[in-house]
Amino acid sequence: MLQIPNYRIEGLIGEGGMGMVYKGVHLNLDRPVAIKVLHPLLVKEPQLRERFYNEARLMAKLVHPNIVQLFDFNEQDDVLYLVMEYVDGRTLDKVIGREVGPIPHTRAIPLIRQILEGVNYAHEQGIIHRDIKPSNILLTPKDIIKITDFGIAKIAGSKGMTKTGTKVGTLFYMSPEQVMGKEADQRSDLYSIGVTAYEMLSGKMPLDDGTSSEYQVMDAIVHRSFPDPRSYYPDIPEWLVNWVMQMIAKQPQDRFHSCKSALVALQSNEQQSTPTSVYVGNNSAPLPVSKNTQQSVSLNPSTSTTRPKVQLKSPWIAALLSLICGGFGLFYVSAVQGFLGIAVGIFWGLITKGKGAFYLLWIAYPIWGFMAADNFNSKRIQQLK
Ligand SMILES: Nc1ncnc2c1ncn2[C@@H]1O[C@H](COP(=O)(O)OP(=O)(O)O)[C@@H](O)[C@H]1O
Ligand SMILES: [Mg+2]
């Protein structure tokens, strides 16, 4: 069993190619921490040791509410470990997986904003993360974002370390220039944030068809344009689609110049957003138009791609619930109340298209129909008596 001085180990919370992450508690402070340990078999590998040292040194420079805070870094009896703030939450990939797909844009935008703020801060300190992806982004139950895993981060302008033991799963978020082995700058992180945002909003990672080889994925990153995210989930505002597409432009110069300008564009559009608004940000770079960078989204709403068929999966679940609950209302004699329950339930289901708090309303209205019918029925029975 792993022994770390001053800490009680409570269990394993994550495992990656390099080692394990444990939950621990500081014995004197009674403070929960996350302890990332380099795998014992890798401790002797100079390159991996260096990567671990690099991660700790860069993390130590960063203090920001959206970045996991480093507390300590040590080596003891061939155990190399870093102690950091414990984030009680889930990684974004699990959130997208568990909520079965897309995060509604009203919830996703504040999360994307926090990712940008954390990464912007790192950039301001001269640090490029280079491995932004949903599994390296933690989300607390209060929707606070915490960025972690600075394993391959580097100081801007320096050569940096390469990622060892890359699996296809980690490739999807890499920028075209990273895939081509070129020097990654801040705009690479912007690309990875863009792909992460794409996945959050659409619930889909289009490069992941489960069968592609590492080479095919790399080729797609460099040459293939992402489909309009609305083909996976239609309820994304046009301006936001365009914003995401600018983030994931193939050529770095076609992206936003910095997290700051991406943030400004996101916020100004959010404030004045209308259903058909088009993004014309303060960064005048046009959406990519070259062959390699062509996106399937048009800037002009009148010529935009045909809107995909509206997916009504969630509203239909609501409608079904309404039918069942309202049906009970009918059963209890009062046709008017029962039908009202059904109608209101279906109506809410359809107009809200399956969003958050309205789930409650879908369920509440038919139940209300049922209860009202029940009440009506009891009164009638009493009258009959
Ligand atoms: N500070 C933390 N608090 C809670 N869980 C964490 C923390 N850091 C990492 N984890 C968990 O451990 C996993 C692996 O951590 P990470 O730093 O990404 O290591 P790797 O380099 O192996 O990918 C994460 O995906 C997350 O589930
Ligand atoms: Mg990781």
Give the residue extent of every domain in the chain: 7-85, 90-155+170-274, 315-384
Rounded to an integer, the average pLDDT of 176-196 is 95
Measured CA to CA, the distance from residue 48 to residue 53 in angstroms comes to 9
**Rounded distance from Cα 146 to ligand 2 centre (Å):** 13
Q: Which atom of ligand 1 is nearest to the CA of 91?
A: 27
Q: Residue 278 — very low, low, confident or very high, per pLDDT cuts 50/70/90?
A: very low
75-79, 85-89, 296-300: least confidently modelled range: 296-300
Is 254 a residue of the active site?
no
In this chain, the answer to whether the domains covering 7-85 and 90-155+170-274 adopt an identical fold is no
Measured CA to CA, the distance from residue 334 to residue 175 in angstroms comes to 61
pLDDT at 273 over 80: no
Fold of 7-85: Phosphorylase Kinase; domain 1 (3.30.200)
151 lines ligand 1 (CB under 6 A): yes
* Catalytic option among 78, 131, 149, 189: 131
- Does 1.10.510.10 match the CATH number of domain 90-155+170-274? yes
34 lines ligand 1 (CB under 6 A): yes
Does pTM surpass 0.85? Answer: no
Ligand closest to 32 (CA) is 1
Best mutation site among 10, 13, 164, 192 for ligand 1, i.e. most ligand atoms within 8 A of its Cβ?
Answer: 13
327 lines ligand 1 (CB under 6 A): no
196 lines ligand 1 (CB under 6 A): no
pLDDT at 308 over 50: no
